[in-house]
Structure 1
Amino acid sequence: MIRHVPRVRVALIAAAVAVLLGAVVAVAVGTSSSPPGRVPPARVLSAYETAAPGNAIDRDCGFSAPLPGSPGRLLWLFCDTVWEGDRPGLWLGTTAATGPAVPGRVPGELTELPTPHGDPHARPSHRRPGGRSPSEGRARPPQGMLAPPPGLVLPGGGTCQVPDVAYGASWASGAARPPGGDTLLITYTDVCVHGATISVQGFGVVGYRPGGNVLTGRTRLFSSPGGLPFQHNLGSPVFAGGHLYLFASVCDTSAFGICHGGRVTLARVPADPAAWRDPGAYRYWTPEGWTPDAAQARTVVVGAAPYLIHVADYSAVGQGLVMVEQRGLDGRFRLWRAPAPEGPWTAAGDRIVPCSGGSGLNQCRALIGHPALSTRDALMLSYYDPADRHINARAVPW
């Protein structure tokens, strides 16, 4: 799953806004005969960004999954988002957009998704005065998709919602389409961000039905005000063999921004909504079999050294399951392959993406693979580059 290395979001929002006000977004030049999107490497752009000079979006994450009922389209999920231009605003949590699924191409004009119906914790996105209605056309700015639940707390027990000091958020940690279903399953974590500290206090699932733009069955499965055990900090949902599989990771040994040793654990539950909304139905992998005790989970990837991971199924391009293991805060990563979630997982080479401009905790992050945009020759990988203050994507040869 993706766990954020924050850019000290609350404290730096004002600085981010100042930088973004002066940004001019470069728009790719194409022809009417060109396929949708841009040739990598390129920024992942929204139609809001390309609609007017000065429109810009600063956000991370960037998961994608096929959109049910819309062949050739993807749903994209992003995390904390600040946008500038003619309709500026921000959303601390998950935002979403849709765009074409063209292998080998980077989306250049994503359509931001209006806030779905059905979230029991819904609240409006913050938009500064003077902007036009955010519902206008494809060039609408981002809007909130998942609102944080009540009850997120600071270490002393006080509320996590303190202006300019701390905030709660629900961050997407992955998405996958259940076999034969008309919804997407989205996984997320509930976090309290206090300065440079992130406390992961909940994990949950929610369904998204594109027809009607509706969220369904939002369920918080695991929670702990003191912080979840990492085995419950789940993401990268994969459906296989009648089960839903989810991954978690932890770096146990690190130095100078590089992870030198850690664990990747695996949970599973029957691929049925009633089961994946039941915390008691989850089982965790051990060499001896599956256990209901998350604390007994053992690493499924021998030799792993993850700061962050993302797992997805690339069988359509002949690669099977692929794990992107971010090993450092400088863009280093390693690929792993396996025929099944339980493995065996085999290392497939070390790589690096060209990140720069990072400092403190604002480093290269959110290395996420995109099966629908990958080809038999290359993995499409997106990542947040602090120098560019943007999500970029590039084709990485297998």
Structure 2
Amino acid sequence: MDRRLPRARTALIAAALAAVLLAAVAAVALRTSSAPPGAAPPAQVRSAYETAAPGNTIDRDCGYSTALPGSPGRALWLFCDTVWKGARPGLWLGTTAATGPAVPGRVPTALTELPTPAGDPHAPPPAPPAPVPSAGAGASVRPPQGMLSAPPGLVLPGGASCQVPGTAYGASWASGAARPPGTSTLLITYTDVCVHGSTISTQGFGLVTYRPDGNALTGRTRLFSSPGGLPFQHNLGSPVFSRGHLHLFASVCDNSALGTCQGGRVTLARVPADPDAWRDPGAYRYWTPGGWTRDAAQAGTVVHGAAPYLVHVADYTGVGKGLVMVEQRSLSGRFRRWRAPAPEGPWTPAGDGSVPCSGGTGLDQCRALIGHPALSTRDTLVLTYYDPADHRITARAFPW
């Protein structure tokens, strides 16, 4: 007996199966295309260079991010000393930069490294382009490149140059970035340091304007300098624009024991939010309980009960939290959060926590606990930190 299905019925079944398969493919494609970029924390902040080919790795220090003007949903990242291996190995002692998606609750895992911007007065003459390997996956993906070059004049104790290959080096390390209101630029703050053996001498503080449209720097200005080391009140960072002023924070641990700060100070400087003013060291004022003073040495602490090794301050108004300070309290990764409605306070405790650092020795300690407003949500604070165990920047989320 012929048990074959009628031809019409066979065609109907085939059409139905094809429709089911098409729907399944479409569903998979939809899920794939709608998946947010990056990874859920905890995760390492990574570059496209690292993921482009086996053996490509980047060891880097500190990690600041800020929303990129003119590019909704994207951020500029600033990193400190960076060493990379793989297809195009190299290093930069100072600040490097990259861009990538800024998705709340996600950690970028394929940042695009920026080429060296134009306009840095301390940049060395351009070197001939390095040959690009002609074969191999990821050979054409750009590795990190320097953003800020160290200025001349950084010195060792005794006055000799800080540039001693294999022994000492000078660098300009980013200490924060923020967008001046009403502009399409970013203001980057940095410190000039001499690193020698087990010591870091901070000898200068400056700022520079970055124009993303054109990848250019303008107005680099060294505001405060001292070959013997800056007073901590001039070791500034965490720029915050508020009520017509640029505010900058500094901190010092006055008493520490067993790798934990027992007590210290957080001071505040401000200057009118105008390029002519913020490039003039005489225009800066420092907060005291009795008002603002020209004398940085008279600055008082704006955070009572502070015990900081380092602090980072940023504006989280977008997630309903106002100003938030992350205060690193120990070399093992303990931190405390503070919140305030304005830079001068009042600052109130808002919880504490710790990051799982390990393997720290000498200068290579758990550090650079930095918050990221563009990655945080109304439920969680996303912060990054440098872990000496793997020499990477890792992001973790903490409930508010």
| TM-score, length of structure 2 as denominator length | 0.89
Report how far residue 173 of structure 1 moved.
0.3
Cα offsets for 1:353-398 (capped at 9, x unmatched): 1111222332211100000100000001000111122100011110
Corresponding residue of 2:62: 61
CA contact (8 A) 2:61 2:392 kept: yes
Report how far residue 137 of structure 1 moved.
9.4
Per the alignment, do residues 79 and 309 of structure 1 end up closer, same or farther by CA in structure 2, a change over 3 Å counting? same
Corresponding residue of 1:253: 255
CA contact (8 A) 1:66 1:72 kept: yes
The answer to whether 1:197 aligns with 2:199 is yes
CA contact (8 A) 1:89 1:127 kept: no
Q: Distance in 1 between matches of 2:301 and 2:127?
A: 41
Report how far residue 268 of structure 1 moved.
0.2
Q: Secondary structure at the match of 1:295?
A: helix
Report how far residue 61 of structure 1 moved.
1.0
Query: 5+ residue gaps in structure 2?
Result: 1-30
The answer to whether 1:212 aligns with 2:214 is yes
Corresponding residue of 1:370: 372
Q: Secondary structure at the match of 2:49?
A: helix
* Letter in structure 2 aligned against 1:360: G
Stretches (4+) displaced over 4 A: 124-133
- Range 136-145 or range 255-264, more displaced: 136-145
CA contact (8 A) 2:87 2:139 kept: no
Corresponding residue of 2:95: 94
Q: Secondary structure at the match of 2:318?
A: helix
CA contact (8 A) 2:53 2:139 kept: no
CA contact (8 A) 1:337 1:345 kept: yes
* Letter in structure 1 aligned against 2:207: V
Q: Secondary structure at the match of 1:187?
A: strand
Which runs of structure 2 are paired with 1:178-193 in the superposition (5 Å)? 178-193=180-195
Corresponding residue of 1:27: none
Corresponding residue of 2:327: 325
CA contact (8 A) 2:133 2:139 kept: no
Cα offsets for 1:152-171 (capped at 9, x unmatched): 00011000001111100000
Corresponding residue of 2:339: 337
Report how far residue 127 of structure 1 moved.
11
Q: Distance in 1 between matches of 2:227 and 2:181?
A: 34
From 120, 144, 154, give the equivalent of 2:146: 144
Identical residues among aligned pairs (%): 80
Per the alignment, do residues 89 and 126 of structure 1 end up closer, same or farther by CA in structure 2, a change over 3 Å counting? farther
Cα offsets for 1:5-61 (capped at 9, x unmatched): xxxxxxxxxxxxxxxxxxxxxxxxx94331111111100000000000110000111
Which runs of structure 2 are paired with 1:16-165 in the superposition (5 Å)? 31-123=32-124, 132=133, 139-165=141-167
Q: Distance in 1 between matches of 2:373 and 2:282?
A: 31
Q: Which has the higher contact order (CA 8 A, sep 6+)?
A: 1
From 212, 234, 237, give the equivalent of 2:236: 234
Report how far residue 131 of structure 1 moved.
5.1
Per the alignment, do residues 289 and 153 of structure 1 end up closer, same or farther by CA in structure 2, a change over 3 Å counting? same
Q: Secondary structure at the match of 2:81?
A: strand
Q: Distance in 2 between matches of 1:159 and 1:31?
A: 54
- Range 244-253 or range 64-73, more displaced: 64-73
CA contact (8 A) 2:244 2:273 kept: yes
Q: Which has the larger radius of gyration?
A: 2
Report how far residue 303 of structure 1 moved.
0.3
* Letter in structure 1 aligned against 2:220: R
The answer to whether 1:385 aligns with 2:387 is yes
CA contact (8 A) 2:286 2:293 kept: yes
CA contact (8 A) 2:251 2:310 kept: yes
Q: Distance in 1 between matches of 2:130 and 2:266?
A: 46
Q: Distance in 2 between matches of 1:352 and 1:126?
A: 43
Per the alignment, do residues 74 and 252 of structure 1 end up closer, same or farther by CA in structure 2, a change over 3 Å counting? same
Corresponding residue of 1:273: 275
How many residue pairs get aligned? The number is 367
Q: Distance in 2 between matches of 1:231 and 1:351?
A: 27
Q: Distance in 2 between matches of 1:127 and 1:169?
A: 22
CA contact (8 A) 2:64 2:78 kept: yes
- Range 348-357 or range 49-58, more displaced: 348-357
* Letter in structure 2 aligned against 1:168: G
CA contact (8 A) 1:364 1:385 kept: yes
Q: Secondary structure at the match of 2:77?
A: strand
Per the alignment, do residues 342 and 112 of structure 1 end up closer, same or farther by CA in structure 2, a change over 3 Å counting? same
Report how far residue 139 of structure 1 moved.
2.5
Q: Distance in 1 between matches of 2:77 and 2:118?
A: 17
CA contact (8 A) 1:63 1:175 kept: yes
Per the alignment, do residues 177 and 241 of structure 1 end up closer, same or farther by CA in structure 2, a change over 3 Å counting? same
Per the alignment, do residues 126 and 307 of structure 1 end up closer, same or farther by CA in structure 2, a change over 3 Å counting? farther
Corresponding residue of 1:283: 285
Report how far residue 206 of structure 1 moved.
0.0
Q: Distance in 2 between matches of 1:308 and 1:238?
A: 17
Q: CA RMSD in A?
A: 1.8
CA contact (8 A) 1:282 1:292 kept: yes
Query: 5+ residue gaps in structure 1?
Result: 1-29
Corresponding residue of 1:6: none
